[in-house]
Chains A and B, each alone.
Chain A
């Protein structure tokens, strides 16, 4: 059973650095939560797949989101009259979104590592945020631009490339059609 005796927990990165964080912040990671709840009485949790640089970023994200959730919960419980309160909590939601946007303004390498960490630690919000940021890097670019941006090797000959471009016209037709509800038997 999860006991409230230890309020702080230590996370150890792959390169040996230790981070002491409140348990509630660490529990943003469902992986860590399972370890705490099922295995219990863990004072130090080693995270072999996350280095200190990335772990400190992840902890930063978790701290911010736990704080934001707590602030929202305390505002919801104090009912201070409806009309005035209508505009009060709007800024905090915007603030968090702005913070998130700034948080993912990192170099590609760091972003990829954050994706891996969010997946390994099972933090859905962070995974969503980082994957969306990576997808945003792809949106609107041509194949050539994407290749350059992500340093991808292209082993397709120009003829093959032309053929793929022609096939592309039909590639997602089925998807598009079902979305438009045209695919009747």
Chain B
């Protein structure tokens, strides 16, 4: 492409490369770029660039006692100015609001409002202020687990809800809400013996490879959102060796499904990453001792942040005194850890483009 020394940046680099560079700039410098010349003005004002720019909110939606708040993940967000995000008013408008699920990207929240007799399901996008009620699923069956997934375009979404049948039957009911049809439809019952833990909201579902995953005492449950089928994924062999009292959760590392276990004997964490999803092959286990290094490299920082905002038996999972030495070296992380007391927590990533499915007509 370019072999001789370039004269100017817009001759040397294609528009895509310039846009890539511009995404690293904070807002104030971007405003200046509008004035440079027509080309830069056009690039910066372009809606495509704005959508690239708009990975605006990254953090955790947590329930601390009586209301929901958003804790920003400052390190994930490239902007240098970080404002204070206070309570998400849109979720706190009524007294009894429970967040059931949060989408992995696009920041869609599925919540339930109202008391025992008049529950209503809503889907909202806090970043844009959109909120719309959706038809209720069959509420006479108690919820076992819920997850919401946004379409690639961010304009549509699907919600899957598992519920418990009456009586002592060993199956799960399954319903899916498709925003394109704007109604729930029932899927095949799940006849496998799967029991979601009571505190399934504490560690949200992980969406990877087209499926939603939950960690249950028996293993990993994967529900394919397209095919609407469920399968179980065996845990790594070494995982079962230890007592199940250690806190474990599933997460994403480099877009691959991973399972993490915290060892309370020390500030240690064991990680397995699934190298081959089709064959369900787990990679080798990796033991990381967080006391060994300052946690600021990209490899382990996202994992560490994830664990800071994790609940174990209703408490912060890293509250063990073995972690004190880690906090001494990572004061930022300590601050983050102390602001979370355990409870419902959802990883929250949102852009600022409106969701078509949530647009209300007057």
Contact = CB atoms under 8 A, between A and B. Distances in A.
A131 B21 contact: yes
Contacts of A89: 292-293
Given A135-B21, A135-B22, A146-B36, A179 B291 contact: no
Contacts of B62: none
B9 interface: yes
A138 B294 CA distance: 30
Contacts of B27: 172, 175-176
Contact of A164 (B22, B34, B292, B329): B34
B96 interface: no
Given A138-B33, A179-B83, A88 B21 contact: no
B13 A112 contact: yes
Contacts of A132: 24
Interface residues of A, number: 62
A134 B20 CA distance: 10
A112 B6 contact: yes
B244 interface: no
Nearest to B295: A93
Interface in A139-185: 139-143, 146-147, 150-156, 161, 164-165, 167-168, 171-172, 174-176, 178-181, 183-185
Contact of B31 (A15, A116, A146, A171): A171
A150 B9 contact: yes
Contact of A127 (B20, B127, B292, B352): B20
Given A171-B45, A179-B79, A143 B1 contact: no
A2 B92 CA distance: 54
Contacts of B17: 112, 115-116, 119
B296 A93 contact: yes
Interface string A71-89: 0100111010010011011
A79 B289 contact: yes
- Classify the secondary structure of A's interface with B: helix
B24 A131 contact: yes
B36 A51 contact: no
Contact of A113 (B2, B32, B79): B2
A172 B21 contact: no
A181 B86 contact: yes
B10 A143 contact: no
Contacts of B286: 76
A151 B57 CA distance: 35
A14 interface: yes
B194 interface: no
A179 B8 contact: no
A116 B128 CA distance: 35
A134 B292 contact: no
A113 to B, nearest CB: 6
B9 A164 contact: no
B325 interface: yes
Contact of B1 (A49, A155, A180): A49
Given A90-B293, A146-B36, A175 B22 contact: no
A109 interface: yes
Contacts of A108: 6, 9, 12
Contacts of B126: 181
B85 interface: yes
Interface of A: 14-15, 49, 51, 72, 75-77, 79, 82, 85-86, 88-90, 93, 107-109, 112-113, 115-116, 119-120, 127, 131-132, 134-135, 138-143, 146-147, 150-156, 161, 164-165, 167-168, 171-172, 174-176, 178-181, 183-185
Given A85-B292, A154-B37, A172-B27, 8 more contacts: A90-B294, A113-B2, A116-B1, A153-B37, A156-B37, A175-B352, A180-B85, A181-B85
